[in-house]
Amino acid sequence: MARTDAIVLGAGMVGVSAALHLARRGLSVALVDRRAPGEETSYGNAGIIEGNTYFPYPFPLKPSALLKIAFKQAPEANYHLSYLPKLAPWLFAYLRHSTTEAMFDFAEQMRPLFAASIAEHEKLMRESNSERYLRTNGWLKVYRSTRAFDEAKTDLDAIAAAGIAFEPLDLNGSMALEPGLSPVFERGIFWPQAASVSNPLGVTRAYAELFRSLGGVSLTGDARSLHKTDGRWRVDTSEGPVDAPVAVVALGPWAPDLLEPLGIYLPLEVKRGYHRHYRPDGNKGLNRPVLDAEVGYAVVPMEQGLRLTTGAEFASRDAPPTPVQFDRLMSKARGLFPLGEPVEAEPWMGRRPCFPDSKPVIGPAPGQSGLWLDYGHAHWGLTLGPVTGRLIAEMITGEAPFTDPQPYSAERFAR
What is the phi/psi pair of residue 282, to 5°?
A: 105, -160
Query: What three-state secondary structure class fits 276?
Result: strand
Which are the contacts of 7, defined by CB distance < 8 A and separation ≥ 6? 29, 30, 32, 226, 233, 235, 242, 243, 244, 246, 247, 248
The pLDDT tens digits for 366-411 are 999 999 999 999 999 999 999 999 999 999 999 999 999 999 999 9
What is the phi/psi pair of residue 133, to 5°?
A: -85, -15
pLDDT at 67 > cutoff 90: no
Note the pLDDT of residue 59.
85
The pLDDT tens digits for 240-272 are 999 999 999 999 999 999 999 999 999 999 999
Domain parsing of the chain, residue ranges: 1-59+97-132+197-267+355-415
Note the pLDDT of residue 88.
96
Q: Are 106 and 167 in contact (CB under 8 A)?
A: no
Q: Quote the CA–CA distance of 243 and 234 in Å, as a whole number.
A: 4
What is the phi/psi pair of residue 145, to 5°?
A: -135, 150
Reported confidence tier of residue 415, pLDDT bands at 50, 70, 90? low
In 3D space, the residue among 248, 246, 244 whose CA is nearest the CA of residue 4 turns out to be 244
In 3D space, the residue among 124, 96, 104 whose CA is nearest the CA of residue 21 turns out to be 124
1-59+97-132+197-267+355-415, CATH topology level: FAD/NAD(P)-binding domain (3.50.50)
Q: Quote the CA–CA distance of 56 and 312 in Å, as a whole number.
A: 14
Q: Quote the CA–CA distance of 321 and 239 in Å, as a whole number.
A: 33
How would you class 88 by CB atoms within 10 Å of its CB: exposed for 0-12, middle for 13-18, buried for 19 or more? exposed
The mean pLDDT value for 45-59 works out to 93
Give the distance from CA 165 to its chain's centroid: 22
Q: Quote the CA–CA distance of 83 and 150 in Å, as a whole number.
A: 35
Q: Quote the CA–CA distance of 229 and 227 in Å, as a whole number.
A: 7
What is the phi/psi pair of residue 321, to 5°?
A: -60, 145
Which are the contacts of 143, defined by CB distance < 8 A and separation ≥ 6? 149, 152, 185, 186, 187, 188, 189, 293, 294
Which are the contacts of 97, defined by CB distance < 8 A and separation ≥ 6? 56, 59, 103, 106, 356, 357, 358
The pLDDT tens digits for 78-133 are 999 999 999 999 999 999 999 999 999 999 999 999 999 999 999 999 999 999 99
Reported confidence tier of residue 18, pLDDT bands at 50, 70, 90? very high
The mean pLDDT value for 26-38 works out to 96
Strand arrangement of the beta sheet that strand 6-9 belongs to: 217-220, 29-33, 6-9, 246-249, 371-375, 361-364
The pLDDT tens digits for 217-248 are 999 999 999 999 999 999 999 999 999 999 99
Q: Quote the CA–CA distance of 332 and 295 in Å, as a whole number.
A: 8
The DSSP code sequence of 47-60 is -EE-TT--S--PPP
Q: Are 242 and 30 in contact (CB under 8 A)?
A: yes
- The string over 47-57, giving b where at least 16 C-beta atoms fall within 10 Å of a residue's C-beta and e elsewhere, is bbbbbbbbbbb
In 3D space, the residue among 221, 223, 226 whose CA is nearest the CA of residue 238 turns out to be 221
Torsion of CA 237, 241, 242, 247, to 10 degrees: 70
The pLDDT tens digits for 143-196 are 999 999 999 999 999 999 999 999 999 999 999 999 999 999 999 999 999 999
The mean pLDDT value for 184-210 works out to 97
Strand arrangement of the beta sheet that strand 48-49 belongs to: 48-49, 195-197, 134-135
Strands (E), 187-226: 187-191, 195-197, 217-220
In 3D space, the residue among 334, 325, 328 whose CA is nearest the CA of residue 279 turns out to be 334
Reported confidence tier of residue 1, pLDDT bands at 50, 70, 90? low
